[in-house]
Amino acid sequence: MDTLIEARGLCVRRGGRTVFDGVDLLLAAGERLFVLGPCGAGKSTLLHALLGFVPLAGGSVRLLGRLCSSEAEFAPLRGVVGLLFQDPADQLFGPTVLEDAEFGPLNQGLGRAAARERAWAALHRVGIQMLAERPVHELSGGEQRLAALAGVLAMQPAVLLLDEPTAALDQASAQRIAAVLEACGVPMVVAAHDEALVARLATRCQRLGGPVDPLC
């Protein structure tokens, strides 16, 4: 089986404390791996570390067979490995939903018409075609999450890293997203608290430790 992500012995320190140390994460073709754990366990940090967005204090990351440690090594793989941020505000920059979804394909070198086609297809898949002309800063939290997901899918990634993809969504939208993710056939690592999503999609789960927040 092809190994798409091979992370070994990861250690991240932030704000003077160790978030996690000695974490391995492997993703093979055909897998939907869920990373579970309480608030603050480091799930988002782990996803960010896999794409070089937070510095490693130890360990190694291999993406699609390529060992990545420098910005120059990670940068070309961002998009091929698509990351949905936990906070859509970190992802969306608009101006409109359609233009935002076009940005990734344009950045990948597609022409205007092809990028627009990809963006429209992604909006339809996520079920937000009616939001195409809306400025991203005017969207609700759930609408923002759907727009951000459309932007990631428009890049047709080979691997998905999804940080709480159904947070803040109503039940119908959450079920639609689960169906889209199930049908897309793309291997993925998902950080989630949504037990229904885990039950429906996970082919394997991995738990991160950390402090337990009784409110989560």
Residues at the contact surface with ligand ATP, assessed by CB under 6 A: 14-15, 19, 37, 39-45, 86
Quote the least distance from Cβ 37 to ligand ATP, whole Å: 6
Beta pairing, strands 17-28 & 81-84: unpaired
Helices (H), 22-140: 43-50, 71-74, 97-107, 112-126
> What CA–CA distance (Å, rounded) separates 191 from 207?
10
Residue 181: both structure tokens together: 């993710």
Query: How many CB atoms are located within 10 Å of the residue 181 CB?
Result: 22
Region near Mg ion per CB under 5 A, out of 26-34, 81-89, 111-119, 126-134 = 81-89
Quote the least distance from Cβ 41 to Mg ion, whole Å: 8
Residue 154: both structure tokens together: 């428009």
Region near Mg ion per CB under 5 A, out of 26-34, 42-50, 67-75, 173-181 = 42-50
If the CB atoms of residues 40 and 94 are measured against ligand ATP, the closer one turns out to be 40
Closest residue to Mg ion, Cβ-based?
A: 44
> What CA–CA distance (Å, rounded) separates 143 from 149?
10
Residue 18: both structure tokens together: 């160790």
Q: How many chain residues touch Mg ion (CB under 5 A)? A: 3
Q: Is 166 one of the binding residues for Mg ion (CB under 5 A)?
A: no
Residue 186: CA count within 13 A, CB half-sphere: 23
If the CB atoms of residues 154 and 191 are measured against Mg ion, the closer one turns out to be 191
Query: How many CB atoms are located within 10 Å of the residue 95 CB?
Result: 12
If the CB atoms of residues 32 and 43 are measured against Mg ion, the closer one turns out to be 43
* Contacted by 125, from ligand ATP, Mg ion, none: CB < 5 to 8 Å by type: none
Quote the least distance from Cβ 19 to Mg ion, whole Å: 11
If the CB atoms of residues 39 and 75 are measured against Mg ion, the closer one turns out to be 39
Q: Which residues bind Mg ion (CB under 5 A)?
A: 43-44, 86
